[in-house]
Amino acid sequence: MKGDTAEALEQVAAALLQLEAAFENCSKGKRFFGGDNVGYLDIILGSFIGWIQASEKILNIKLLDEAKVPLLVAWADRFCAHDAVKEVMPEVDKLIEFGKLLQALLNANHAH
């Protein structure tokens, strides 16, 4: 892996560890950041889950690793399975396609 990518992955891993600690502190043993029900913070952070999963698939790595951030992994699973969320979560493969399209557009703009 390139140096920049490896450094970025280390930063992401450190951020996820902080988020794991924040979840433990905020949830106080409950299912979601604010308690028993999905709240504002869950929605904000949950909006990144699809992109995290897409990144995992593209880079063939595990960011949400149960061995490193088990509370966060369990939270993400609960969040994605929630009735209010599961029907609106984007499909990972569609996010990957969209990301590739954006990259192609960016590359085309830099070529001009």
Q: Tell me, what's the pLDDT at 62?
A: 95
Domains, in order of start, for the chain = 3-111 (1.20.1050.10)
**Bridge partners for 11 per DSSP:** none
**C-alpha Rg value of the chain to the nearest Å:** 16
Q: Tell me, what's the pLDDT at 21?
A: 98
Q: Tell me, what's the pLDDT at 78?
A: 98
Q: Tell me, what's the pLDDT at 110?
A: 85
pLDDT one digit per residue (tens) for the chain, 112 residues: 577 888 999 999 999 999 999 999 999 999 999 999 999 999 999 999 999 999 999 999 999 999 999 999 999 999 999 999 999 999 999 999 999 999 999 999 888 7
Q: Tell me, what's the pLDDT at 42?
A: 98
Q: Tell me, what's the pLDDT at 68?
A: 97
**Alpha-carbon span 73 to 67, nearest angstrom:** 9
Contact criterion met (CB below 8 Å) for 78 and 32: yes
Q: Tell me, what's the pLDDT at 4?
A: 85
Global pTM reads 0.87
Q: Tell me, what's the pLDDT at 6?
A: 87
**Alpha-carbon span 70 to 100, nearest angstrom:** 30
Contact criterion met (CB below 8 Å) for 38 and 85: yes
**Alpha-carbon span 78 to 54, nearest angstrom:** 18
Query: In 3D, which of 93, 49, 88, 87 has the Cα closest to residue 101?
Result: 93
